[in-house]
Structure 1
Amino acid sequence: MTGTTSTAPGVPDTPAVTAHPRRWLALAVIAISQLMVILDATIVNIALPHAQTDLGISDADRQWVITAYTLTFGGLLLLGGRIADFWGRKRTFLVGMVGFALASAVGGLAQTGGLLFAARALQGAFGALLAPASLALLTVLFTEARERARAFAVYGAIAGGGSAVGLVLGGVLTEYANWRWCLLVNVPIAAAALAAALPLVPESRAHGDTRYDVPGAIVVTAGLVCLVYGFTKAAEDGWDATATIAFIAAGVLLLAAFVLLERRSTHPLLPLRIVLDRNRGGAYLTSTLIGAGLFAAFLFLTFYFQVVLRYPPAKAGLASLPVTAGVLLAAGLASQLLPRIGAKPLMVAGTLLAAGAMLALTGIDVDTSFVAHLLPAQFALGMGLGFAFVPLSSLALVGVPEHDAGAASATLNATQQVGGSLGTALLNTMYTSAVTGYLSSRTPNPLTQVQALVHGYSVAFAWGAGLVLLATLATVLLVRVRKQDLATGGAVHLG
């Protein structure tokens, strides 16, 4: 999963009187760019074991392949949305696509782990331009309510199905070509989309004050990087090491400084009125905790399939599909149930189901049956995600004025990415410590080496389940919205 989409963008500033004549062709171009971003997350997961071996990346540092992307994407997403509005949505879209492709090329050709990490960070930064620009263009191109619903259905289908395509494509490319093509494949996709976008996608921009909260974006991203680096140092040096404590403390202080900046800024990156509402705050906290628990689960499942069970990459990609199937099925059911029973019951059920599935994954061994154990656990995990994220998308917009809708929606997306960044770093540290502790009390041999890896994965799944259970608690304590609020004031009218 990856979290690069938003389900309820804001209303355009001045709806077009006449629909753009080539809007459906433009939608196809935008959908291609969205597919590229979605593919990138799951493709890289499948490729990571081979990239780690090829570039000599340590277990403690491998999480940077994931977190370098999610940190810059989540940290800069809100700023990217404002840049798209005022600099020009088409211009931002094109720059984001070109930059994303170039960063992908650098990553695909990287000869060191550090260069790969840097390329992934650049991908995240340009993705933070590309994703909000894509959504903003859709709101401008489709001004009639029924057409807009169809357009966003297509966009959402790409988001849901793209992750499954990425798993399979990543496995095929890694097994039959090279892991590098999991990044290089973005170059021809972007080139085709760019050639089509130039004549088909119209330019548009918002009017008014165009000042950006650049200090806020820098401070929040630096704070998150410090936290993640602190978790990484804990895996290498221990939690009581001076460097570990210093980086975690710096991260906390920078995030506190970000809150102060946002309170005083006349054009805040994140208007605090959006997150201080009890229901929306509960939604964002729940989203952060779910992201923290589940991003790492997908990472460790990939390594378990390929390193312990010795699945080839293509088979590992196929073996991960039950999660996507569960998400798609549960999302459809949740959409039907949301108006009837409201957001809170679905979110509680979803997070409990996801946590239970992760606890089931703690029972893995060196030869666990896929059909009897791994398939149902993954499917249940996907079902839990689907039941949780559909109501989260609506809850994040409860009572939001139209002019804050874009920021509120982008904040939900950002919390998933930020949570995933912190969770991946934290759980990778727990995994590394568990493996080291397991081996320290046993005689090293090939079997104990594999058993140590399995023990580490189980510990990581247990911690992930704990984070998702905290998301359940946050939902129970903070969410008070009624089902009729979702129907009347909970969603921003897009027609």
Structure 2
Amino acid sequence: MTTDSSLAPADQAAADAAFGTRERMALFVLLTASFTLAVDFSILNVALPRIGSDVGFAIADLQWISTAFAVCAAGFTLLFGRFADLFGRRRQFLVGIALLGVASLVGGLAQEPSLLLAARVAQGIATAAVTPAALSLLTTSFPEGPMRERALGLNGALMAAGFTTGAVLGGLLTDLISWRWAFFVNVIVAVAVLAVGPAVLKETRAQLRPPLDLPGAVTVTLALVAGVYGLTQAGQHSWGDVRSWGALLLAAVMVLAFIVIERTVSEPLVPLSVVLRRSTGWGNLAGVIAFATETSVVFLLTLYLQEVRGYTPLQAGLAFAVLGAGTVLGGVIAPRVIGHLGGKRAIVAGLVAQGVSTVPLAFLGDASGWLVVLLVATFVGGVANLVVIVGFMVTATSGLPDAEQGLATGLATMSQQVGITLGTPVMSAIATAAGAATAGHILHGVTTALAVNAAICFATAVVIGLVLPRHRKAVAA
């Protein structure tokens, strides 16, 4: 039974002591992989112009370097989450890491656009395979309660810090060495993980292997791929772009087809009973909002720093170092917050704190002291956001048997990646619409979008507070 009662100091000490050498090494391997994959989402963004000139991309085609990765990383994650349950989490994790290493080597050596895009597709597929496998290895390696919450807290901290680190590291590598090292770093990490991982990770898989729900797998993958593609096109072009709406319409049709299939097949890919559990469904909604709001804050503040304040990309990236520190601290303290408040209250409190920290950013301008406001607000927002992220992961993966942890973590990973993809185009559209009719259009658009961002945090906190169950019962594996 997982309850909302707080942990006694002795219990916490016992939980901390329960990490043996093998568990620590396994945790290190899994966290290293999670951090590296998070870095990959942002490490190439500041290097895109340089990559285009070196490899031969037209300016209009540069967006495909990011889109190819994002579509595959999000589109295949739910399918691979279920694969991990059925065919082995450790095996899938190691194969995915090997694919990441090979794809990154190819990308780093690429001399033509088609080869670089193929490498990015392979990196995205590797990310879709590794992320749910790593997360389910975490949840099955550590029992539900303080140990799992601590492990998920560390995972969330490094994962969130990875997005910020990627922007800074990408700028440093591009300016000081070469953008190609943004790929080669992955090769080094992959070799290290493959050297240590087989010795410290235990294989886990379902005892019974039901037949794969192929129609469900095809429709849900098409839905996710089309949905993410539509969102990225909206962000890069406009919400009026026909490709965006066409892809989103296809995604909606595929979702409906998927629901019909899952209701009729004997062994569904995603049992609707799992998705419809309040802790799983509403917990994942909180995750989507947490990732969408905080990643879009980074996007909006990047516009502010570079377009309004005149910062270089590297300077703007360094300004987010404080946010990165806040996310790390948030991941460290999140298990204790959850232990004292429970998952539901931790999510609500984190969303409220994140919203409060975003409100001052809606008033940024030319006044003296603006940088201090930005740094303090982003630090507090980073701490609060990680409390929400860890709270959602604990909530969405609790009360389920080990045989369904790949599915649960696949859903959580999907929520993460959909949130990352959703936040920027939505807030970009708001900023563009709000700033279109004003003289200082960029600043007004950014501050308006930040105000909406804060309002979304508050509204989600109210909804989660009303509908998310307070107690969760663990189900024996």
Q: Which interval holds the TM-score relative to the shorter structure?
A: 0.7 to 0.9
Q: Is the contact made by 1:79 and 1:214 (CA closer than 8 Å) also made in structure 2?
A: no
Partner of 1:479: 468
Q: Displacement of 1:269 after TM fit?
A: 2.8
Partner of 1:445: none
Structure 2 CA distance for aligned equivalents of residues 374 and 144 of structure 1: 37
Structure 2 CA distance for aligned equivalents of residues 493 and 368 of structure 1: 58
Partner of 1:323: 323
Partner of 1:291: 291
Q: In structure 1, which of residues 458, 466, 481 is the aligned counterpart of residue 447 of structure 2?
A: 458
Q: Displacement of 1:45 after TM fit?
A: 4.9
Structure 1 residues 336 and 408: alpha-carbon distance in aligned structure 2, compared to 1, 3 A threshold: same
Structure 2 CA distance for aligned equivalents of residues 148 and 31 of structure 1: 13
Q: Is the contact made by 1:20 and 1:141 (CA closer than 8 Å) also made in structure 2?
A: no
Partner of 1:101: 101
Q: Kindly report which structure 2 residues correspond to 1:149-188, keeping only aligned pairs within 5 A, or say none.
A: 158-159=158-159, 162=162, 165-188=165-188
Q: Is the contact made by 2:306 and 2:316 (CA closer than 8 Å) also made in structure 1?
A: yes
Structure 2 CA distance for aligned equivalents of residues 342 and 141 of structure 1: 22
Structure 1 CA distance for aligned equivalents of residues 149 and 338 of structure 2: 18
Q: Displacement of 1:414 after TM fit?
A: 1.6
Q: Secondary structure at the match of 2:41?
A: helix
Partner of 1:207: 207
Structure 1 CA distance for aligned equivalents of residues 161 and 423 of structure 2: 24
Q: Secondary structure at the match of 1:362?
A: helix
Q: Displacement of 1:293 after TM fit?
A: 2.4
Structure 2 CA distance for aligned equivalents of residues 150 and 349 of structure 1: 19
Partner of 2:224: 224
Q: Displacement of 1:376 after TM fit?
A: 1.5
Partner of 1:363: 363
Q: Displacement of 1:273 after TM fit?
A: 1.0
Q: Secondary structure at the match of 2:363?
A: coil
Q: Kindly report which structure 2 residues correspond to 1:9-48, keeping only aligned pairs within 5 A, or say none.
A: 28-45=28-45, 47=47
Structure 2 CA distance for aligned equivalents of residues 473 and 253 of structure 1: 30
Structure 2 CA distance for aligned equivalents of residues 213 and 337 of structure 1: 39
Structure 1 CA distance for aligned equivalents of residues 89 and 402 of structure 2: 19
Partner of 2:409: 409
Q: Is the contact made by 2:97 and 2:194 (CA closer than 8 Å) also made in structure 1?
A: yes
Q: Kindly report which structure 2 residues correspond to 1:190-201, keeping only aligned pairs within 5 A, or say none.
A: 190-197=190-197
Structure 1 CA distance for aligned equivalents of residues 223 and 65 of structure 2: 18
Partner of 1:127: 127
Deviations 1:258-280 (A, max 9, x none): 22222223333322111212333
Partner of 1:81: 81
Q: Is the contact made by 1:67 and 1:420 (CA closer than 8 Å) also made in structure 2?
A: no
Structure 2 CA distance for aligned equivalents of residues 117 and 421 of structure 1: 19
Q: Displacement of 1:413 after TM fit?
A: 2.5
Deviations 1:306-334 (A, max 9, x none): 45444445443331122233233344444
Q: Secondary structure at the match of 2:43?
A: helix
Q: Displacement of 1:113 after TM fit?
A: 7.7
Q: Displacement of 1:185 after TM fit?
A: 1.8
The aligned length equals 457
Q: Is the contact made by 1:354 and 1:384 (CA closer than 8 Å) also made in structure 2?
A: yes
Q: Secondary structure at the match of 1:174?
A: helix
Give the structure-1-normalised TM-score: 0.75
Structure 1 residues 89 and 333: alpha-carbon distance in aligned structure 2, compared to 1, 3 A threshold: closer
Partner of 2:457: 468
RMSD: 4.1
Structure 1 residues 112 and 347: alpha-carbon distance in aligned structure 2, compared to 1, 3 A threshold: farther
Structure 2 CA distance for aligned equivalents of residues 422 and 62 of structure 1: 20
Partner of 2:16: none
Structure 1 CA distance for aligned equivalents of residues 162 and 248 of structure 2: 35
Partner of 1:337: 337
Matched, 1:263 2:252: no
Partner of 2:249: 249
Partner of 1:301: 301
Gaps of 5+ in 2: 1-18
Deviates more, 1:236-245 or 1:309-318: 236-245
Structure 1 CA distance for aligned equivalents of residues 398 and 84 of structure 2: 24
Gaps of 5+ in 1: 1-18, 443-450
The one-letter amino acid of 1:468's match is C
Q: Is the contact made by 1:171 and 1:315 (CA closer than 8 Å) also made in structure 2?
A: no
Give the structure-2-normalised TM-score: 0.78
Deviates more, 1:365-374 or 1:28-37: 365-374
